[in-house]
Amino acid sequence: MIFSYNLLKSFFKKNFPKPKELAEILTMRAFECEEPQKVEEDFALNVDVLPNRPDCYFHFGLAREISAIIKKKAKVPKWRLKEEKKVKIENFIKITPQNIDRTICKRYCARVIFDVKIEESPKWLKDYLTVCGFLPINNVVDVTNFVMILLGQPLHAFDFEKIEGREIMVRWAKKEEKILTLDEEIYELDEKTAVISDKEKPIAIAGIKGGKESGISEKTEIVVIESANFEKSAILSSQGRLDLKTEASKRFEHGVSLSLAPFALDFAASLIQQIANGKVVKGKIDILFEKEKKRVVRFDSQKISEILGVEISERQQLKILKSLGFKKIKNKFLEIPEFREDIVEIEDLAEEVGRIYGLERIKGVFPKTTLTFSEKDPQILWEREIKDIFKSMGFTEVMNYSFLPERTIPLFGIPFEKVIRVKNPASFEFEFLRPTLLYRILENIKKNLPYFSEIKIFEIGKIFLKKEGKIIEKNSLGGAILGDKFFELKGYLDALLSKLGILDFWFDFYKPKSEILNSKVWNNIRCSEIKIGEDSIGILGEVSKEILEYFKIQNKVCVFEIDLEKLMEITKKEHEFKPYSFYPAIIRDVSIICPQKTLVDEIMQILENCGGENLVDVDLIDIYDIDEERKSLTFRLSFQHKERAIEPKEVEELMKKMFKEVEKNPYFEIRK
Amino acid sequence: MEIKKEKAKILKKIKETKSLKELDEVFKEAQNEIKNFTQKLKKLSLKQRKKFGKEINELKEKLEKEYRAKKQVLQEKTKEKKEFFDVTAPGKKIELGSFHPITLVKNRAEEIFQSLGFEIILGPEIEDEWHNFDALNIPPDHPARDVLSLGKTFYLEEKKLMRSHTSSVQIRYMEKNNPPLKIVAPGKVFRKDAIDATHEIEFWQLEGLMVDKKISVANFKAIMEEFLKRFFEKEMKIRLRPSYFPFTEPSFEVDISCVICGGKGCQTCKESGWIEAGGAGMVHPQVFRNCKIDPKEWQGFAFGMGLTRLTMLKYKIPDIRYFHSGDLRFLKQF
C-alpha cells in the first residue's frame, strides 16, 4: 500500500523523521517498508501493512501508529461544514431502514450537495492522489478517493438526477440484473451479489464499484455522497461472484471502523464545499443497525514480561499501550481502541508492547525447561541408513517432483481410478500425484545420458494412490542403473537388504499382477519380484522396450522400486550380531553341467543342504554355455568349522556327499 | 679342513658386495671353494667324510640362500634407480555416491536440533483443512488464506490438500502429546506458483515448536542464534521484525545477518545486510485451545524455516530449479 510522505508528515508539528529514517522505523516497529521513492516534491512509501491491521490502511491510521512509535502527537483531521438552512435532505432523497438489507450493510450515511461545479481538482489534491497511485478524475471523485486514503472510509458519489424515483436501497441483486460500471464493464448479477439500487435498477455494486449511468459527469450539479459500512461476508460474496476486487472492497473485506462513516462523510462534504463550491443540504442520512460495543482486555504486566522474556515495568508497558490508544479502566482492564479489532487477549498486548519497546532490545536467553528425551521418528533413522548404503555403493540421490503429467498414467498402464488428480494444478505437467517414483527417475536417466556413461541414481520419497477409494500416501524407494546390468543392480539390492540385517529375502520370478505398475513397464523376462518370506516388497527389472522408446533411451536401463513402509514393518526385528569362526577356511571350486533351463537356485539349494553347518558360503562365480542345451555353473564353496580348523579330509567327504546328491539328478553332471 | 672359517669368510663377502656383478664373482669363487672341499673329501676316512660332508652340504645351502637373498636386494636397488615412476599421473577414478544437498542440510539441521534436545518428527504430505488451516486459527473466510500465500494450496478430492506449510505437523503433535514439548519437523511443502529462479511449487521447510511453562521470545532468540551459529559455523546475528501469522501472537519475521557479505550489503541481501530466513512467534492461545492445551498454563514458540533456502545459502546455489533437475553435474558436487 502506497503512502504519501508529505501527507503523513502533515499530521505532525515538527521533527518528523526523514523519509528513509521513517521507512526504517516502520520496518522495525510495525510494517515492512520499502525504500522511499521520490515523486516530485513528495516521497512515495510502499508500506506492507499487515492483514490484521486495516486501521493502518490509510494515512491518518498510519500516522496514529507512527505517533506511538516516535512518541509525538498526531493531529486529528478537522473540518468546517456549513449547511444550507433552507433545504432539507428529506426533500431530496428517500433512504429508509426498511430498504437497507441488514445482511449487507451495517451503517448507511449520505449527504446531498447541490450547485456543484465539476472540474479539475486543485494541484495539492491531484499531487497526493498521484503519489498514492490514483488517477485524478474530477474534483468530486477525487475528494471521495482522497478521503478514503486519508481516513480509510470508502465513499461513493452519485449524480442525483440519475437516481430513479429519488430513492436509494441496499439489497441483493435479482437474477438477470446487469450493471455497466464506471470502467465500462458489464457485470451479470445474481442473488449472491449485493447492490445499491434506485427504484428501478442497480446503480452500484455495493462497496465495490459504482455504475456508469449514475456516476459523476461534467453535467452533474447535485451530488449524493454515500458513506456506508458493508458486511465482510457480503463483500466477499460479491467479490467471489464477480471475480472483482477494488481499493474500496479490499478495505471492507478487512473491516472498516463503524464510527468512521458519518465523520468521513462530513469531511468529504466540507472539502467539496471548499473546492467545488457545493452547497450542502441540511441534515444527513445516518442509518445504524448496531452500535459498536466497548471492548476490554485483561492487562497483566507480569505475563507480558514472561511472554517476551524481558522485564519491562508496568509503568512503561502502560505508557506504550496508552500511546496506541488503549485506556486504563478499573482494576486490571484496558479499554481497546475501537479501531483495533485485532486485539482480543493478553498475547495481543504482548505483541504491541514488544514491538514498540523494540524487539532488538530482547536479548537471547536459554530456556530453563523440563528435561525431555530427544528422539527421532524411526522412519528418519531408517531412511538415513538406506541413503548411507546407497551412497556407499556409488549411487547419487535425486529428488523429483511429486506431480506427474496426465500422459504418464496410461504410459505406465496405471488405471485412472487409482491415481489422485490435483484440482488446481500448477500446470498440466503437474496434474497428478505420482503413484510411482520411476517415471521421473527414467526422466533423470534420459537427461543425464549426454554427459555420463555410467549412471546410478536413487530416490526416497512419497508416492500417492487410491486404494478402495481412499487416498493413501506411502514412502517409496526407487532407483535405476544405466546399461544391461540386471545382476549388478540385483547385487546392490542384495547388499542393501543384507546390510539392513534382513535374512530371509529372495528374488522370485515376476508374475504380471502387481498392484500399481503393470507389466507394461517391465521386460517380463528380465524382471523379478523382491520378497521377504512370503511378502512381496518390490520389483526389480529391466525397463520394457516400449517405455524406453517413449523416453528415446537407446541403452538398456534397469530399475527397482521398493515399498519402504512394508520393508520397515517386516524388518522391525533387531539386528543381532552373528558369531563367526576364528579358524581358517578351506575353499573349493566346483563346476556342474546342467540343462540351460535349470535354476541356479535349485543347485545352490542342493549344495547348501548337503554342506550342513560347515559349509559357510556358496557363491556362483561363473556361468558359461556349453551348447544350446547345456550350461556350466561354477560355484565357490567355503568350509569352516566353528571350534577348530577343519580337516581337508572332512571337506573331501562333504564334497563327495554333495556330488552324489547333485548327480542323483540324471541331467546334472560334475565336471572333474 | 677349515670349513667353518671359510663359511664365515664367504658370508661376510656376500654381505659386503655392492653390485650384482661383484656378487656373482663372490658366488663363483665360493662355489669353487666348495668344489675344492669336496675333492679333498675323497682323501678322508669314512667317519670324517660323513662329518665334513654334512658341513659342506650345510655350507652349500647357506651359500645359495644368502646369494639369492642378496641378489634380490641388489636387484630391487638397481630397479629403484632405473624405473621411471610418474606420481603426477591421475589415480584410478572412483565413482562415489552422493546425497542430495537438501538431505545434507536436513541431516545437519536435525543433528543440531537434536543436540539441543529437540525431538525430530514427521507428518503426512496430504493433509486435511483442519490441520493445515482451521486448527492454526485460519478459518475459511480469513484473509490470511490468501495473503499468506496459503491461497496457493493444491486441493485434492475428499476435501484433502497438499500441505502448504509444515505447521500442520505441530497440530498433529500437540493433539497427541501433552506439554512440555520440544520438536522439529522437517518436510516437503507444496504451493501453487509459477516456477522460476526463486519460486518452486514444492520445497522443504523445517518447523519447530517448544512449549513449557515459561518459554519466551528471548528463549526463541537464543535457540535460533545457537542453531544458526552451529549451522553456518560462525557467529550469526538475528533480527526479529513485527509480522502477522494467524497461528502465532506475537509474530515475527526472522532475518539473519547476510551469510554472503556478513552484513555489509551485497546483491543477495539487496544491500540491506539481512536475509529473511523464516517466520516465528509465540503459539497463539487459540491454537493451544484447538489442541486441548490450556494457554493459561502453557506458552511457547513456534517457527518455520525454509530448508531449501538454507541450502541455497549454505552452498551458494543461485537457482532453486537445480534441486529438482536430477542433473548429475549438479548432484555429484555434494
Closest CA to A315 of A267, A353, A279, A351: A353
Query: Residue A482: is its pLDDT beyond 90?
Result: yes
Helices A247-254, A232-242: inter-axial angle, 10-degree rounding: 140
Closest CA to A153 of A235, A255, A287, A44: A255
Segment B84-106 shows an average pLDDT of 90
How far is the C-alpha of B221 from the C-alpha of B219, rounded, in Å?
5
The minimal CB distance from A424 to the residues B192, B215, B216 is found for B192
Q: What pLDDT is stored for residue A413 in this prediction?
A: 85
Q: What CATH class has A83-288? A: alpha beta
Q: What pLDDT is stored for residue A513 in this prediction?
A: 66
How far is the C-alpha of B291 from the C-alpha of B175, rounded, in Å?
5
Conformational region of residue A166, where left means phi above 0, alpha means psi within -120 to 50, and beta covers everything else: left
How far is the C-alpha of A458 from the C-alpha of A445, rounded, in Å?
11
- Measured over the CA atoms of residue A65, residue A69, residue A71 and residue A72, the dihedral's sign is negative
Angle among Cα A305, A310, A316 to the nearest 5 degrees reads 65
Confidence of residue B107 (pLDDT cuts 50, 70, 90): very high
The minimal CB distance from A401 to the residues B194, B202, B222 is found for B202
How far is the C-alpha of A192 from the C-alpha of A202, rounded, in Å?
14
Asked if the Cβ–Cβ distance from A369 to B201 is below 8 Å, we say: no
List strands edge to edge, sheet with A470-482.
A396-397, A456-467, A470-482, A557-563, A535-543, A522-532, A505-509
Segment B134-147 shows an average pLDDT of 75
Query: Residue A514: is its pLDDT beyond 60?
Result: no
SS3 label, residue A326: coil
How far is the C-alpha of A220 from the C-alpha of A159, rounded, in Å?
6
Q: What pLDDT is stored for residue A473 in this prediction?
A: 94
Look up residue A183 and give its DSSP letter: T
Q: What CATH class has A2-70? A: alpha beta
Residue identified by cell 527421532 is A376
Query: Residue A445: is its pLDDT beyond 90?
Result: yes
Model pLDDT for residues A223-270, shown as the tens digit of each residue: 999 999 999 889 999 998 898 889 999 999 888 988 899 999 999 999
Look up residue A94 and give its DSSP letter: B
Q: What pLDDT is stored for residue B57 in this prediction?
A: 85
Confidence of residue B143 (pLDDT cuts 50, 70, 90): low
Query: Residue A307: is its pLDDT beyond 70?
Result: yes
Q: Which of A8-12, A191-195, A377-381 comes out lowest in average pLDDT?
A: A377-381
Closest CA to A159 of A96, A95, A101, A116: A116
Q: Cβ(B239)–Cβ(B258) under 8 Å? A: no
Share of chain A above pLDDT 90, in %: 64
Asked if the Cβ–Cβ distance from B190 to A345 is below 8 Å, we say: no
Residue A52 burial (CB count, 10 A): 23
Confidence of residue A391 (pLDDT cuts 50, 70, 90): very high
Q: What CATH class has A295-357? A: alpha beta
Query: Residue B330: is its pLDDT beyond 90?
Result: yes
Segment B126-150 shows an average pLDDT of 78
How far is the C-alpha of A608 from the C-alpha of A616, rounded, in Å?
9
Confidence of residue A562 (pLDDT cuts 50, 70, 90): very high
Share of chain B above pLDDT 70, in %: 96
Q: What pLDDT is stored for residue A534 in this prediction?
A: 83
How far is the C-alpha of A388 from the C-alpha of A395, rounded, in Å?
10
Closest CA to A55 of A337, A266, A352, A263: A337
B324 contact A CB<8A: yes
The minimal CB distance from B299 to the residues A32, A307, A387 is found for A307
How far is the C-alpha of B94 from the C-alpha of B97, rounded, in Å?
10
Q: What pLDDT is stored for residue B85 in this prediction?
A: 82
Nearest CA in chain A to B190: A402
Q: Is A364 exposed, middle or buried (0-12, 13-18, 19+ CB in 10 A)?
A: middle
B282 or B1, which is more confident: B282
Residue identified by cell 543381532 is A576
The CATH number of the domain covering residues in A378-570: 3.30.930.10
A490 contact B CB<8A: no
Q: What pLDDT is stored for residue A19 in this prediction?
A: 95
Half-sphere exposure of B172 (CA within 13 A, CB side): 20
Conformational region of residue A243, where left means phi above 0, alpha means psi within -120 to 50, and beta covers everything else: left
Mean pLDDT of chain A: 90
Confidence of residue A296 (pLDDT cuts 50, 70, 90): very high
Confidence of residue B144 (pLDDT cuts 50, 70, 90): low
Closest CA to B224 of B211, B213, B239: B239
Cis peptide before A579 (omega within 30 of 0): no
Query: Residue B164: is its pLDDT beyond 70?
Result: yes
Confidence of residue B270 (pLDDT cuts 50, 70, 90): confident
Q: What pLDDT is stored for residue A76 in this prediction?
A: 87
Confidence of residue A4 (pLDDT cuts 50, 70, 90): very high
Model pLDDT for residues A25-35, shown as the tens digit of each residue: 999 999 999 98
Query: CATH 3.30.70.380 spans which residues of chain A?
Result: 586-671
Residues of B in contact with A370 (CB under 8 A): 180, 212
Model pLDDT for residues B198-257, shown as the tens digit of each residue: 899 999 999 999 999 999 999 999 999 999 999 999 888 899 999 999 999 999 999 998
Query: Residue A575: is its pLDDT beyond 70?
Result: no
Architecture of the CATH domain A586-671: 2-Layer Sandwich (3.30)
Nearest CA in chain B to A235: B141
Residues of B in contact with A29 (CB under 8 A): 242
Phi, psi of A563 (to 5 degrees): -75, 105
Query: Residue A490: is its pLDDT beyond 90?
Result: yes
B140 contact A CB<8A: no
Query: Residue A476: is its pLDDT beyond 80?
Result: yes
How many Å lie between the alpha carbon of B88 and the closest alpha carbon of chain A? 25
Cα–Cα distance list, A328 to A69, A71, A308, A312, A351 (Å): 19, 19, 21, 18, 18
Phi, psi of A217 (to 5 degrees): -125, 175
Q: What pLDDT is stored for residue A503 in this prediction?
A: 78
B59 or B136, which is more confident: B136
Q: What pLDDT is stored for residue A505 in this prediction?
A: 87
A390 contact B CB<8A: yes
Query: CATH 3.30.56.10 spans which residues of chain A?
Result: 2-70, 295-357
Model pLDDT for residues B176-190, shown as the tens digit of each residue: 999 899 999 999 999
The minimal CB distance from B97 to the residues A345, A391, A425 is found for A391
What CATH superfamily is the domain B101-331?
Answer: Bira Bifunctional Protein; Domain 2 (3.30.930.10)
Asked if the Cβ–Cβ distance from B241 to A454 is below 8 Å, we say: no
The total number of residues shown for chain B amounts to 334
How far is the C-alpha of B314 from the C-alpha of B334, rounded, in Å?
12
Q: What pLDDT is stored for residue A516 in this prediction?
A: 58
A379 or A489, which is more confident: A489
Query: Residue B50: is its pLDDT beyond 80?
Result: yes
How many Å lie between the alpha carbon of B290 and the closest alpha carbon of chain A? 16
Query: CATH 3.50.40.10 spans which residues of chain A?
Result: 83-288
Q: What pLDDT is stored for residue B265 in this prediction?
A: 82
SS3 label, residue A411: helix
How many Å lie between the alpha carbon of A71 and the closest alpha carbon of chain B? 18
Residue identified by cell 540491506 is B272
Share of chain A above pLDDT 70, in %: 97
Q: Which of A312, A396, A468, A475 should one mutate to test binding to chain B, selecting the residue with the greatest count of B CBs within 10 A?
A: A396
Closest CA to B227 of B323, B315, B114: B114
Q: What pLDDT is stored for residue B86 in this prediction?
A: 83
- DSSP-assigned letters across all residues of A334-347: EEEPTT-TT--SHH
Taking only Cα atoms into account, the Rg of chain A, rounded to an integer number of angstroms, comes to 40
Segment A136-156 shows an average pLDDT of 95
Share of chain B above pLDDT 90, in %: 54
Q: What pLDDT is stored for residue A573 in this prediction?
A: 57
Confidence of residue B146 (pLDDT cuts 50, 70, 90): low
